[in-house]
A and B are shown apart, each in its own frame.
Chain A
Amino acid sequence: MAYSEKVLDHYNNPRNVGTLDKASQEVGTGLVGAPECGDVMRLQIRVNEENVIEDAKFKTFGCGSAIASSSLATEWLKGKTVDEALGIDNMDIVEELSLPPVKIHCSVLAEDAIRAAINDYRVKNGLEPIKEEDKIVH
């Protein structure tokens, strides 16, 4: 299977690989997927007082498309408010990376990771987690 140029670019030059202090009040961590399924993504955000995502980091165990999806997600998250970040849809990732149908689950996982990180941040800061039903899932 041939990968798209953008997937190759993110794979070869992943943006924002790394780790934020998960104990910090400003940091939300999302860990999604399962080793048995061949994909695990950890996505972290650091949110400032204006509710803006100042930094985002990821680490991913998975195929090239999974790595590219999470790398792209961190790029998109930076500078967005938390509410704006919730608007990132997996199909936007599919489109941007030209993912083939068998790789759509990679984009779903990235979206899940974003939501998990945001929820972790919300709960840490005394807010209700956003529920799954609140959003249309592709």
Chain B
Amino acid sequence: MGEIKLPIYLDNSATTPVDPRVVEAMLPYFTEKMGNAASRNHPFGWAAEDGVDLARERIAALIGASSPKEIIFTSGATESDNLALKGVAEMYARKGNHIITCNIEHKAILDTCKILEKRGIDVTYLEVGEDGMIDPEAVRAAMTDKTILVSIMMVNNEIGVRQHIEEIAKIAHEGGALFMTDATQAVGKLPVNVNEMGIDLMAFTGHKMYGPKGVGALYVRRKRPRVKVTAQMDGGGHERGMRSGTLNVPGIVGFGKAAELCRLEMEADAKRIGALRNKLESALMEMEETYLNGHPEHRTPYLTNVSFKYVEGEGLMMGFNQFIAVSSGSACTSASLEPSYVLKALGLDDELAHSSIRFSLGRFTTEEQVDYTIEQVKKAVQRMRDMSPLWEMYKEGIDLSTIEWAEH
């Protein structure tokens, strides 16, 4: 094995590198095609508009939308989530004031729901099971005649579980509500078809699928039913009046190119990367007292979230984070000292939540990188365990739950 290039990037759920083919597609839109897509009266504007139109078509094709007009460009998934939730709550206020979501959603959903609660919207936060899954029947049970929207993420960003979106969408529709999904971790990585899945609104973003940062989209269904959201920003009435603001043309062009590449390469990528993920995961799970977080089957092939018991995640990461980039469910870096709310929602002990590491792979991950990671992480876990009083106690057969810990 030759010299491996360091550091290795295994944090693709946070953001992905931009594919060089995407960068290439974007470049002309910074220079000779620099026009404003809303300038209807000269070639610069036409060129920019053509670029945006093509991107819209490519993105629509990736998600199986009936029309490119159903794609509303935003600055990213957080804005899309805000626009969908707040926009639906306002637009459908006369119909009802109840939204159903779940407790492992991204903060862009949860914090937006918190604001909506202050504005008089009732929000039900469904709890997930130990495997991170929402029981579709729990959605049915939570539906009322005031429910206007059910918003359940497609793939969770920390543990990678994929929810039973199709069933949940069906239940939402049966109860007369719209179905929205934050598909940030799914679009471009897994097959998504808004018509087959019964999705009315969907948030996603460019930078999780090898496109640039700062550009995202909200899919808004136009037929059966025709969905509308109230704009959350006032201005020039761009994007069918739902999202004002000069379009980020180079970003949108890049997002479109990324969508095109994903549509063509996703199947092969998912297969290859899934095999690498499985190799990494099974090698790590060979170590004793190592636990997989989240449902082992209903999940994305791109990531694995593992708890190394008796070792603290941040301390562990420090052993290799100069060379391997991953993320931890331990929130020791934050002042709250609270570990990941997603892992806690699974009913994981705080201790195991503090011990978790998320490895997320992507298009540019190689087998050589995975092999190196296995070796380094195993070494670091052993080193940290040799230094851990909890590991020593475990090895001596002491039941840690019988010790009176001084919580601080």
Interface residues of A (CB under 8 A from B): 1, 3, 11, 14, 17, 19, 31-42, 59-64, 66-67, 101-102, 105, 108-109, 112
Contacts and interface: CB of A to CB of B under 8 A. Distances in A.
Nearest to B390: A61
Nearest to B404: A34
A63 B389 contact: no
B406 A32 contact: yes
B312 interface: yes
A33 B315 CA distance: 15
A60 B385 CA distance: 9
B327 to A, nearest CB: 13
Given A34-B406, A38-B354, A40-B388, 8 more contacts: A35-B349, A35-B354, A35-B405, A37-B408, A38-B314, A63-B330, A63-B333, A64-B314
A5 B332 CA distance: 19
A33 B318 contact: no
A17 B388 CA distance: 9
A65 to B, nearest CB: 8
Contacts of B406: 32-34, 112
Contact of A17 (B330, B350, B386): B386
A33 B405 contact: yes
A61 B408 contact: no
A131 to B, nearest CB: 15
Choose among B311, B354, B392, B400 the residue with the greatest number of A CB atoms under 10 Å from its CB.
Answer: B354
A63 B315 contact: yes
Interface in B95-146: none
B286 interface: no
B339 A67 contact: no
Interface string B373-408: 000000000000011111110000000100101111
B337 interface: yes
B407 A34 contact: yes
A14 B318 CA distance: 13
Contact of B335 (A1, A63, A66, A102): A102
Contacts of A3: 318
A59 B314 contact: no
A58 to B, nearest CB: 8
A66 B192 CA distance: 44
A62 B310 CA distance: 9
B312 A39 contact: yes
A35 B400 contact: yes
A59 B310 CA distance: 12
Contact of A14 (B330, B335, B351, B387): B387
Nearest to A100: B333
A37 B386 contact: no
25 contacts: A14-B387, A34-B406, A35-B400, A36-B349, A36-B351, A38-B312, A38-B314, A38-B332, A40-B390, A40-B405, A41-B389, A59-B387, A60-B387, A61-B310, A61-B311, A61-B389, A61-B390, A62-B312, A63-B314, A63-B315, A63-B318, A64-B315, A64-B318, A101-B335, A112-B408
A51 B81 CA distance: 64
A31 B388 CA distance: 12
B334 interface: yes
A85 B350 CA distance: 33
A104 to B, nearest CB: 10
Contact of B339 (A38, A60, A101): A38
Contacts of A33: 405-406, 408
B392 A59 contact: yes
A19 B350 contact: no
A11 B15 CA distance: 29
A61 B381 CA distance: 12
Interface string B356-383: 0000000000000000000000000000
B406 to A, nearest CB: 6
A37 B318 contact: no
Interface string B302-342: 00000000111011001100000000001011110101000
